[in-house]
Amino acid sequence: MLVVGGGSVAQAKLRALRPTGCRIRAVSPAFNPAFLAELAAFDTERHDRAFVPEDLDGVHLVITATNDPAANAVVAAHARSQSLWVNAVDDAASCDALFPSILRRGPFVAALSTEGAFAGLSRVVREALEGLVPDAAIPEFEALVQLRRQLRQSLPDPAERAERLRSLLRQVQQEALPAEAHR
């Protein structure tokens, strides 16, 4: 993966990529300290300079995250000429790949997107959901997943199993979520 840019927007993209364990090639004339701290979590190749087309060698996805729309467009054009996927920050029309705002709570994952129209809106909604689904819910979610596995083995009738699970989820909704969440 190629990340062109070394500021706060590129840092946010790295944060989203952390769970993937991907290899990152980072290219920018300057990297801010927070970006470098985030980059340390990856297997990386770092180039302190402007983008050159050879930076695309061996990558499959390109993230353009500079504060220069013209530079982002040049990177995207070179990437497309090699049939590479592009995520162009703040330019939804130029994106082949979008990064949703993600909420992870154990086995529960919610991905929110405005299809590139307004990433800040996705983030605000995700933050609201974080309040509804606290980290403390992770053990309960894991227990529910395990219970579902057990029910798949002990209740061979899919309709009976589905009804039992729906009943259990209604109970969880009533007990664990704030009242406004089950309207």
pLDDT in tens, 135-173: 888 898 899 999 999 999 999 899 999 999 999 888 888
Q: Please report the pLDDT score of residue 166 as a whole number.
A: 93
Cα(70)–Cα(101) distance, integer angstroms: 26
Break the chain into its structural domains and give their ranges: 2-94, 101-134, 136-182
Residue pLDDT, tens place only, 87-141: 988 787 888 888 888 899 999 999 998 887 888 898 899 999 998 888 888 898 8
Q: List, as own/partner pairs, every contact residues 43-49 make where C-beta atoms lie below 8 angstroms and the sequence separation is at least 24, other chains included.
A: none
83: burial class by Cβ within 10 Å (0-12, 13-18, 19+)? Answer: exposed
> Between 3.30.420, 2.60.120, 3.40.1350, 3.30.160, what CATH number should domain 101-134 receive?
3.30.160
- For residue 156 the two structure tokens come to 């061979």
| 28 band by pLDDT with thresholds 50, 70 and 90 | very high
To the question of domain 2-94 being in CATH 3.40.50.720, the answer is yes
pTM for the full predicted model: 0.75
For residue 47, list its beta bridge partners.
27
CB 13 within 8 A of CB 66: no
Give the closest residue to 2 by CA, choosing from 19, 26, 18.
Answer: 26
Residue 178 has pLDDT above 70, yes or no: no
Cα(61)–Cα(63) distance, integer angstroms: 7
Decide the pairing of beta strands 2-4 and 23-27.
Answer: parallel
| 177 band by pLDDT with thresholds 50, 70 and 90 | low
Residue 64 has pLDDT above 90, yes or no: yes
* Phi, psi values for residue 141, rounded to 5°: -60, -45
